[in-house]
Amino acid sequence: MKNHKTIILSNQEIAPGYYRMRILAPEYQQLATPGQFVMFRVQHTFLPLLRRPFGIFRVGFMPADCDAMPEKEFIEIIYKVVGSGTEIMQELHQGDRIELLGPLGRGFETGDPAEEKILVGGGIGLVPLYMLAEKLVQTSKVRLLMGGRTRDDIITVTEFERLGVETYVSTEDGSLGEQGLVTSVLEQKLAAQPKAAVFACGPMPMIDAVQKICAGYSTSLQVSLEALMACGVGACLGCVVKGAGHSDAEPRYLCSCKQGPVFRAEQLDWSRLEQQDSVCGGCD
């Protein structure tokens, strides 16, 4: 865990509205585990103020520019342009200076190698699953079920295929792969073989549906959640989610940035994950 003042090595649009950024990141090869994230400081001014969290897509090395120089260690992030911060990010170029805090959070547990591994990704939620796939293919059979609204939301699937991952694609409009929701493919797979380990990341309705399906087959599930974050290190308590057994009398909040962003399904209170009611008069 470090704050690196570093530079961008490349920043390219890979699909409409999706960018892939490579950033010089010493030590990440050794430190980063699948499912972890970084807090990216977009500008050196205070507008936008907070850092933006992004999953680590992959860690790698670039050959040295010159014989006597060391190889360049980098990370890649893939981001979708959605607001003020990512709008600035899409304008950044090779050589621009940025700050990177990380690697942060708890990633995925790989579990029993004998089990089949099923990765479920929805749109940009695919990002943290790539590093996981790289690791899992070494010991286990790995499938990726990838869903999106249209073909533009289906990114980097061929890279998973190159790892030896069997991939299934579905889109809601049928513009690529099967038409429908990725969760119905999951349902079919688990009906045939419930003894598997499922790893999911994507929009909350997808994660919710995945949880219901996995619970139905008693299949183990880990999910990576997105939460609003200010600090990324466990200090502000802005990013909490409700843990299993949570009640007003005995609250069990889990910190997404520190105890997550990856959780085992049984750690969470699924009935209240999205419920929002208020208890206090506006104190910090």
Ligand X SMILES: Cc1cc2nc3c(=O)[nH]c(=O)nc-3n(C[C@H](O)[C@H](O)[C@H](O)COP(=O)(O)OP(=O)(O)OC[C@H]3O[C@@H](n4cnc5c(N)ncnc54)[C@H](O)[C@@H]3O)c2cc1C
Ligand Y SMILES: Cc1cc2nc3c(=O)[nH]c(=O)nc-3n(C[C@H](O)[C@H](O)[C@H](O)COP(=O)(O)O)c2cc1C
DSSP 8-class letter at 71: P
Is residue 98 within 8 Å of residue 92, measured between CB atoms?
Answer: yes
Is residue 42 within 8 Å of residue 96, measured between CB atoms?
Answer: no
- CB-based burial of residue 88 (10 Å sphere; 0-12 exposed, 13-18 middle, 19+ buried)? middle
Q: Which residues are registered as beta bridge partners of 104?
A: 37
**Strand (E) or helix (H) holding 214:** helix 204-216
Q: Which of 9, 163, 236, 273 binds ligand Y (CB under 6 A)?
A: 236
Site string for ligand X, 113-142 (x = CB under 6 A): -----------x--x---------------
Q: Which does 46 bind (CB under 5 to 8 A by kind): ligand FES, other proteins, ligand X, none?
A: other proteins
Distances (CA, A) of 239 to 52, 137, 194, 232: 13, 32, 33, 8
Site string for ligand X, 164-203 (x = CB under 6 A): ----------------------------------------
> According to the binding rule CB under 6 A, does residue 284 interact with ligand Y?
yes
Q: Which of 230, 269, 270, 273 binds ligand FES (CB under 6 A)?
A: 230
**How far apart are alpha carbons 154 and 132 in whole angstroms?**
18
Q: Which of 1, 64, 215, 237 binds ligand FES (CB under 6 A)?
A: 237
Q: Which does 40 bind (CB under 5 to 8 A by kind): other proteins, ligand Y, ligand X, none?
A: none
> According to the binding rule CB under 8 A, does residue 101 interact with other proteins?
yes
> According to the binding rule CB under 6 A, does residue 261 interact with ligand FES?
no
CB of 230 to ligand X, least distance (A): 7
Q: Which of 234, 244, 253, 272 binds ligand FES (CB under 6 A)?
A: 234
Closer to other proteins by CB, 138 or 247: give it: 247
DSSP 8-class letter at 267: G
User: Edge to edge, what strands does the sheet with 196-201 contain?
Assistant: 178-179, 166-171, 142-148, 116-122, 196-201, 220-224, 262-264
- The C-alpha angle 189, 195, 199, rounded to 5 degrees, equals 70
Q: Which does 130 bind (CB under 5 to 8 A by kind): other proteins, ligand X, ligand FES, none?
A: none
**How far apart are alpha carbons 172 and 96 in whole angstroms?**
37
Q: Which does 246 bind (CB under 5 to 8 A by kind): ligand Y, ligand FES, ligand X, none?
A: none
CB of 47 to ligand Y, least distance (A): 15
* Residues binding other proteins (CB under 8 A): 1-3, 41, 46-51, 99, 101, 227-241, 248, 251, 253, 258, 275-284
